[in-house]
Amino acid sequence: MHSSSGYGNGYHHQHQQHADKHFGPSLRDRARRGTRRGSGARSRDSRDGHGPSGGATVGLRVCEQQRPPTDFDMAYFHSYAHVGIHEEMIKDRVRTETYRAAIMQHQSSIAGKVVVDVGCGTGILSIFCAQAGAKRVYAVDASEIAVQANEVVKANNLSDIVIVLHGRVEDVQIDEEVDVIISEWMGYMLLYESMLGSVITARDRWLKPGGLILPSNATLYMAPITHSDRYSESIDFWRNVYGIDMSAMLPLAKQCAFEEPCVETITGENVLTWPHVVKHLDCYTISIHELETVTTRYKFKSMMRAPLHGFAFWFDVEFSGPAVSPTNNHTPSSHVDDNPLDGSQRKKRANPNEALVLSTAPEDPPTHWQQTLIYFYDPMEVEQDQLIEGSVTLSQSKENARFMNIHLEYASGGRSFVKELVMR
């Protein structure tokens, strides 16, 4: 970040080089489901000039050249200029208050330090960091929401601390190492939108050794579910419509209702087994390459007799420091039969001296992420203790890295199936 006159009002817009954020959720889906990400199209750009306070450039690491933005990227960034997306995320009290609590819990690592907010959106997390005593906060976002973020910063008299950079994290210049990276990067099913790549880029470019990343790690879970009400509302409805047999509509109804992943809220009563860990991500060590394909084998044992309608996916993120961050799992996680969500994670949430956890699990308070459901076209009846096994592979779409391809194999009771979907 440069300026011959210090930091000015903190808002710097280069030529619209590349808009930021690493995602690409489809606008069609966002309209259908209500928006998703709060840290919208993120990154901002910087000025040319001197280092902090007009001084010399400080320890800027060189990173390999990043790809230019695609048309999908530009559409994605444009979508995050809409206030509705940010309103939805900020009104998610579980999300926003957990981030504020994490910032205050780590205040000793933030006060007097330099922070980067990756995908700052309206700038609320940057302002929380300033309130926690940060010396300087670089608020980076590629969407035009950066203009409003800068106005919010000025209205709160924080322009001398919070510098809004309009551009991609891959493209903006910050001429000093930073102590803290904060970002709300999680998409539906954790990895949808691929924004974690921007956090990794910021980490590799600017984070000091021993620096803090919030959140520090994340875990994606899956479990088989039963949801007769949802199936009845979408499918069984057509069997008798005002006394007319419209069952000829069933194949089309199933395709329209269940061809793509669904973002919905379920409860713990819908879940048939303990969850399986699909992937654990350590934000201090994960590489961009590891995000291209995630695969795991699973084996569940149903805890009840019920129709199996599909699988649910949800995630947790934890706000801990680098010293206590768990080692990243560099290989596909092994299958788990009984891996309760309560145990150690509930203990962490209950003990204020331990790491905070933001959970989107069915039994926890609802968030705007809800859960991601993959429904079968036809349910399978399972008995208590019946095995349900198979594999799931999540991979970035070749068409658009912000989309996610899902390859699901499942078998139970001597029957096996394959389902392929695209989350777009």
- The pLDDT, as a whole number, for residue 355 is 87
Grade residue 77 by pLDDT with cuts at 50, 70 and 90: low
pLDDT at 376 over 80: yes
Rounded mean pLDDT, 145-174: 95
* Residue 309 covered by a domain: yes
pLDDT digits (tens, 9 = 90+) for 229-238: 999 999 999 9
* Residue 208 covered by a domain: no
Decide which of 330 and 202 is more confident.
Answer: 202
164 with 223, same domain?
no
Q: Which of 184, 259, 264, 389 is catalytic?
A: 184
Q: If you search the block for the tokens 């924004």, which residue do you land on?
A: 195
Percent of the chain with pLDDT over 90: 68
pLDDT at 91 over 90: yes
Grade residue 354 by pLDDT with cuts at 50, 70 and 90: confident
CB 380 within 8 A of CB 415: yes
Angle in degrees, CA 158, 163, 165, rounded to 5: 145
Q: Of 184, 206, 235, at which residue does a domain stop?
A: 184
- The pLDDT, as a whole number, for residue 298 is 98
Rounded mean pLDDT, 233-260: 95
CB 48 within 8 A of CB 2: yes
Rounded mean pLDDT, 341-354: 42
178 with 222, same domain?
no
- β-strand 262-264 against 371-382: which pairing, if any? antiparallel
Burial of 277 (0-12, 13-18, 19+ CB in 10 A): middle
Q: If you search the block for the tokens 């302002």, which residue do you land on?
A: 127
101 with 245, same domain?
no
* Residue 335 covered by a domain: no
The helix/strand/coil state of 171 is coil
Burial of 78 (0-12, 13-18, 19+ CB in 10 A): middle
Name the helix (H) or strand (E) containing 42. Answer: none
259 is catalytic: no
CB 94 within 8 A of CB 358: yes
Q: Of 184, 208, 240, at which residue does a domain stop?
A: 184
Q: Which DSSP symbol is given to 236? A: G
- Domain housing 399: 218-322+352-423
241 with 379, same domain?
yes
**Under 8 Å CB-to-CB from 107, ≥6 apart: which residues?**
132, 133
Rounded mean pLDDT, 172-201: 95
The helix/strand/coil state of 18 is coil
Q: Which of 144, 176, 193, 260 is catalytic?
A: 193
Residue 284 belongs to a domain with what CATH number? 2.70.160.11
* Residue 209 covered by a domain: no
Total domain count, the chain: 2
How many other C-beta atoms are found inside a 10 Å radius of the C-beta of residue 381? 11
Grade residue 80 by pLDDT with cuts at 50, 70 and 90: low
252 with 149, same domain?
no
Grade residue 313 by pLDDT with cuts at 50, 70 and 90: very high
Query: In whole angstroms, what is the distance from residue 319 CA to residue 325 CA?
Result: 9
Q: Of 130, 164, 184, at which residue does a domain stop?
A: 184
* Residue 346 covered by a domain: no
Rounded mean pLDDT, 259-279: 97
Residue 137 belongs to a domain with what CATH number? 3.40.50.150
pLDDT digits (tens, 9 = 90+) for 7-55: 333 344 433 333 333 333 332 343 333 334 333 333 323 323 323 333 3
Among 22, 287, 17, CA closest to 173: 17
- DSSP helix, strand, coil percent of the chain (3-state; round to 5): 25, 30, 45
193 is catalytic: yes
Query: In whole angstroms, what is the distance from residue 369 CA to residue 361 CA?
Result: 10
pLDDT at 58 over 60: no
179 with 282, same domain?
no
125 with 270, same domain?
no
- The pLDDT, as a whole number, for residue 67 is 65
179 with 283, same domain?
no
Decide which of 26 and 270 is more confident.
Answer: 270
294 with 378, same domain?
yes
Query: In whole angstroms, what is the distance from residue 50 CA to residue 67 CA?
Result: 26
pLDDT at 251 over 60: yes
pTM of the model: 0.79
**Radius of gyration of the chain measured on its C-alpha atoms:** 22
- The pLDDT, as a whole number, for residue 235 is 95
